[in-house]
Amino acid sequence: MATVIKGTAVAKKVRQSLRDEILEIQKEKPDFKPGLTVVQVGDRPDSNVYIGAKVKACEEIGINGVHMKLPPETTQQELIDAIEGLNVDPNVHGIILQVPLDCTTGIDETLCTNVLSPSKDVDGLTDVNAGRLARGDLKRCFTPCTPTGCMVLIDEAGVDVKGKNVCVVGRSKIVGAPMHDLLLWAHGTVTTCHSRTPDLGYHIRQADVVVVAAGKKELVKGEWIKPGAVVIDCGINPEPDATKKSGVKLWGDVEYQAAKQVAGAITPVPGGVGPMTVALLMRNTVVSAKRMHGITGVRSYSTASYTRPIAAQLGGGARGLSTSTNFARAGLSLLQRLKK
């Protein structure tokens, strides 16, 4: 029977540590106040829920969380102008562009995401941050929050991925692809599977660690899991369920009950990976604020081994990230010219 990795408990530990650190810094620097702004275009109900959770977490930790809500008729240039204003605002240390955009004007989400200054891209989704992660330049980038949270949970299970066979199921830009990169630079032997992979079960059976982010209910069968493997399930697949107070039951991408009988450790859905995403977003915002205030040193948010690479990743200071702003603007200018 697998040990259940409770992401809710780990995330709570991260958030409390961040709150303590902010209060500690404020004793010497009273004006230290990390700031996170979430930019939304339109009024999608699901986006409102996600943003509400982020702003609430900010309030609990001591971060100034702002929800910038723009109307559906916002033009692409108006959105760019809003983001560029946040890029130069010294009170804003983290910026998120909430996607998908709910607009009537055909805004290019990728182009606008790349308007974000890489030094404030706390979701790690700009091409600059993604490229640095792909090259293993972890000291000079922010890494996406969900895969980074998965790394912390793997370590909470007491597993060092160095030399281990690891299987990532899914290749999205937000989870699968950066998950592969993080595991690779942690010295895992990584196989990435996707919708075109034949005999998915074969690859999973070889893996000491399995991370699934495919967006398909119970895609990974319990019988495929190698005995003793660590299973991290990023899936969130809602289905109507009248027995639930919310009217919805969430399913993971892994056949949980069957896998639990075989695995060494496994994350539940809900209560596994999800809470870590918000916690690591808060962490990235605090780290960005520390960089901009010239504060060195990074507190560890997990007792496990991955905190050492995290500390190394975040210990590079402001220099590496801040110099990327002009590069990002030049790239944006090129993209706009190519689209003409």
69-123 pLDDT, tens digit each: 999 999 999 999 999 999 999 999 999 999 999 999 999 999 999 999 999 999 9
The pLDDT value recorded for residue 303 is: 33
What gap in Å lies between CA 59 and CA 76, rounded to an integer? 30
Who contacts 240 (Cβ-Cβ below 8 Å, separation ≥6)?
A: 247, 248, 249
Quick one: average pLDDT of 313-319?
Answer: 36
Instruction: Say yes or no to pLDDT of 134 above 60.
Output: yes
Residue 332 lies in a domain: no
Quickly list H helices, 62-207. Answer: 76-87, 109-113, 127-134, 145-156, 176-185, 200-205
Residue 317 lies in a domain: no
Amino acid found at 217: K
The pLDDT value recorded for residue 296 is: 80
Quick one: average pLDDT of 125-132?
Answer: 97
The pLDDT value recorded for residue 221 is: 98
CATH number of the domain that 238 lies in? 3.40.50.720
Angle between helices 127-134 and 325-338 (to 10 degrees): 110
Cis peptide before 268 (omega within 30 of 0): no
Quick one: average pLDDT of 119-137?
Answer: 97
* Mean model confidence pLDDT for the chain: 89
The pLDDT value recorded for residue 246 is: 85
HSE, side-chain direction, 13 A CA sphere, residue 85: 9
What are the Cα distances from residue 247, in Å, to 48, 252, 273?
A: 18, 17, 22
Instruction: Say yes or no to pLDDT of 337 above 70.
Output: no
Instruction: Say yes or no to pLDDT of 324 above 60.
Output: no
Give the tens place of pLDDT for each residue, 210-257.
999 999 999 999 999 999 999 999 999 999 999 998 899 999 999 999
The string over 114-151, giving b where at least 16 C-beta atoms fall within 10 Å of a residue's C-beta and e elsewhere, is: bbbbbbbbbbbbbbbbbebbeeeebebbbbbbbbbbbb
Quick one: average pLDDT of 162-180?
Answer: 97
Instruction: Say yes or no to pLDDT of 297 above 60.
Output: yes
Find the catalytic residue in 33, 54, 244, 290: 54
Residue 230 lies in a domain: yes
Quickly list H helices, 215-266. Answer: 256-260
Instruction: Say yes or no to pLDDT of 192 above 90.
Output: yes
Total domains in the fold of the chain: 1
pTM given for the model: 0.86
Instruction: Say yes or no to pLDDT of 289 above 50.
Output: yes
Q: Is-catalytic flag, 244?
A: no
Q: How far is CA 184 from the centre of its chain?
A: 17
Region of residue 317 (left: phi > 0; alpha: psi -120 to 50; beta: else): left
Confirm if 76 and 44 have CB atoms less than 8 A apart: no
The pLDDT value recorded for residue 2 is: 96
Residue 212 lies in a domain: yes
Residue 58 lies in a domain: no
Angle between helices 7-28 and 145-156 (to 10 degrees): 110
Confidence grade of residue 325 (pLDDT, cut at 50, 70, 90): very low
Residue 224 lies in a domain: yes
Residue 253 lies in a domain: yes
The pLDDT value recorded for residue 71 is: 97
What gap in Å lies between CA 126 and CA 189, rounded to an integer? 26
Instruction: Say yes or no to pLDDT of 305 above 70.
Output: no
The pLDDT value recorded for residue 222 is: 98
Coil/strand/helix, residue 101 = coil
The pLDDT value recorded for residue 298 is: 54
Residue 223 lies in a domain: yes
Instruction: Say yes or no to pLDDT of 140 above 70.
Output: yes
Question: What residue numbers bound the domain in which 245 lies?
Answer: 144-274
HSE, side-chain direction, 13 A CA sphere, residue 92: 24
Quick one: average pLDDT of 149-165?
Answer: 96
